Amino acid sequence: MIDFPKPAAKQFLQTLALGRFAVTSNEDQLLFVSNLSGKMNLWSIELPGGFPSQLTFENQSIGSIHVDPKGRYTLITSDFDGDENYKIKVLSPAGGQAKLLIPAEEQTKQFVSHISDDGEYLYYATSQRNPEFFNSFRRNVMTGEEELLVAGEDALTTIESVSEDGCVIAYVKNFSNTHSLIEALDGDKTHILSSEPEEIQEMRRAVVAGRKVYYLTNLHDDHHYLASYDLDEKFSTIIKKLPNASMDELDYDAANQCLYVRTLEGAIAKLYRYTIYGEKWKEVASPFDMFLGLKIAKTGALYVLGSTSTSPMQIFKFTGTDWEPIVTNSVPGVPEEMLVEAETIKYPSFDGLQIEALWFKAPDEVSNGATIFWPHGGPQSLETKAFRSYFQYWLANGYSVFAPNFRGSAGYGSDFMKMVERDWGYGPRLDCVKGAEWLFEQGYAKPDTLYCVGGSYGGYMTLLLHGRHKDLFRAFVDIFGPCDLFTFYHSVPDHWKQMMDKFVGNPDRDKEKFIEDSPITYLENMTKPMFVVQGANDPRVVQAESDKIVNALREKGVQVEYLLLEDEGHGFSKKENELLVFERIVAFLDKQRLGHPVR
């Protein structure tokens, strides 16, 4: 028989990336963001399924897609080389050059909130003249006439939902990642939806349906649940709570008068349907472990972007009974059974708190005995059973992967999530330490075979673990991680500033804590091999953060590899960059393991 070569690195990393998507109102076209051409662009396929056409040629990340219900235009928001200064651009539904819709200064960020059913009005938020809290406008798309609807005053404020007749506008005021309130404008009247607005709570995802506003909240509960506010009766009602599940996305199916709710239940997501009339609640079984996007067509047909540990992002249509693949995606040349399914394990932390982690064990036939310890980014995010091409790439290269959802992670209730706030460097770090010790106890790893690799907050954690627990690991890889909480605090975008106090702390008030929790404090201890990756345009973790740690370590004579990506921000908009980084990481790890890279 023919002996085919083993799957190459790039087969995993060339897996199609899918981003936002939209369905036209007559459901004849699906528009989606993808790096099919190597870089992120907008594509479309004719429904019920066909060959894709490229609509944009900007080669940039696209943050949202909105289609004129009357089919005259398409709106996208895109930035430039990762700078996150997203602008609203208009293009012909047939594709072509995308044109800036609303004149704005370069630093301005614009976000689409809603398009009216007749396509005449755009509701959008802009940082122009209000960089910290944003202003929201209603704009006549055809004439350019516009009207200020909501001015952000004390919190980052954006419109969440607009009623069919345009009279009711629900907006969310974000004080921090874990504190937000929803209000609604009803003609000239303002409704405070929460019954106890003074309480710290997190309200999210408003939907105006008739004279009710549906939303998710965690008021007096550890988990988010579904509630509604009656605009006439002026009071809120709890609609549905689920034990041990946090509701985190809410979508409205006007055709069938029902709501779709996505929950996070630890490392997996589930989908539920709530029928407003009849008050029926039902789980919708799906082929996915994680939902990354959901669109409801005018007909009520559901289009879902999702994945599992072993199946890359795909878009399926749910007909009510069946899931039909629309945009299919697999690791080229690698059958799904060769990919590694995550095992969910739990271990007790230093204070008895249970920590859940994903454990991907490299198959015996490829295992090299080494393990990658992956503290996720966020930090108020989590590692789920979504497909991770680089995990599978590492696994195929023989590395097992351990990803702990340390305290502060989403998916385990609000109390758990808040545990990282103003405590970036203590509890979560010790959870990681206990995770490493768990691996040692199980016999899965030894300090000599354990490598710490993390991005964003995970990069910060990597640096901190290097500074304070270097003997647990053999080497470290920091991707876009901040090293100094003082400078990080000051360098984030304007609209992050308010929430930084609660999220990270205050450099004056919490000076001692900032020093204790900044990796740069422990520079002297960082003696292990390290590889640092940074995007030159990163607006969240600026290049100075990485320059600082690299220069400081090099001055001490520590060998540090440094890769600066000139045309990226806080992520990868270009497949070639992603490929480069993850290939370099494996080469770096192989070199530590063997004294030379394998390739």
Footprint of its own copies on this chain (CB under 8 A)? Answer: 1-2, 4-8, 10-11, 14, 16, 36-38, 45-46, 49-55, 57, 72-73, 90-92, 94-97, 99, 141-142, 325-330, 332-335
In sequence order, which residues have a C-beta less than 8 Å from that of residue 242 and are 6 or more positions away? Answer: 223, 225, 263, 272
Rg (CA), the chain: 24
Whichever of 49 and 287 has its CB closer to its own copies, that residue is 49
Nearest to 214 by CA among 278, 173, 258, 165: 258
The residue among 57 and 281 lying less far from its own copies, judged by its C-beta, is: 57
Least separation in angstroms between residue 136's CB and its own copies is 22
Quote the CA–CA distance of 37 and 568 in Å, as a whole number: 17
Phi then psi for residue 510, to 5 deg, are -110, 35
For residue 531 the two structure tokens come to: 């590889």
How many CB atoms sit inside 10 A of residue 597's CB?
A: 15
CB count, 10 Å around CB of 506? 14
Smallest gap from residue 48 Cβ to its own copies (A): 10
User: Three-class SS string for 344-360?
Assistant: EEEEECCCCCEEEEEEE
- Minimum distance between the CB of residue 8 and its own copies, rounded to whole angstroms? 5
CB atoms within 10 A of CB 528: 18
In 349-456, where does DSSP find H-type helix? 389-396, 414-418, 427-442
Give the Cα-Cα-Cα angle 512, 518, 523 (nearest 5 degrees). Answer: 115
CB of 312 to its own copies, least distance (A): 11
- Could you tell me the smallest distance in angstroms from the CB atom of residue 109 to its own copies? 22
Rounded Cα–Cα distance for residues 314 and 112 (Å): 24
| Cβ-based nearer residue to its own copies, 121 or 473 | 121
Considering the complex, what minimum distance in angstroms separates the CB of residue 594 from its own copies? 22
Place of tokens 């497949």: 575
- CA–CA dist 314, 292 (Å, integer): 10
Single-letter residue type at 569: G
Q: Which residues contact 496 (CB under 8 A, 6 or more apart)?
A: 540
State the nearest-atom distance from the C-beta of 138 to its own copies, in Å. Answer: 17
Our CB check for its own copies shows the closer of 10 and 361 to be 10
Taking alpha carbons only, the member of 32, 75, 66 closest to residue 50 is 32
- Smaller CB distance to its own copies: residue 168 or 326? 326
The set of residues, in sequence order, having a beta carbon less than 8 Å from that of 462 and lying 6+ positions away, is: 375, 452, 453, 454, 476, 477, 478, 481
The CB-of-342 to its own copies minimum distance in angstroms stands at: 23
Q: Which CB sits closer to its own copies, 163 or 314?
A: 314
Tell me whether residue 210 or residue 335 sits nearer to its own copies (CB atom): 335
Residues 185 and 167: their CA atoms lie apart, in Å, by 8
Cβ-based nearer residue to its own copies, 101 or 439: 101
- Which lies closer to its own copies via its Cβ, residue 169 or residue 315? 315
Q: Residue 466 and residue 452: Cα distance in Å, rounded? A: 9
Minimum CB separation of residue 563 from its own copies in Å reads 22
- Closest CB to its own copies among residues 53, 525: 53
Minimum distance from CB of 255 to its own copies (Å)?
26
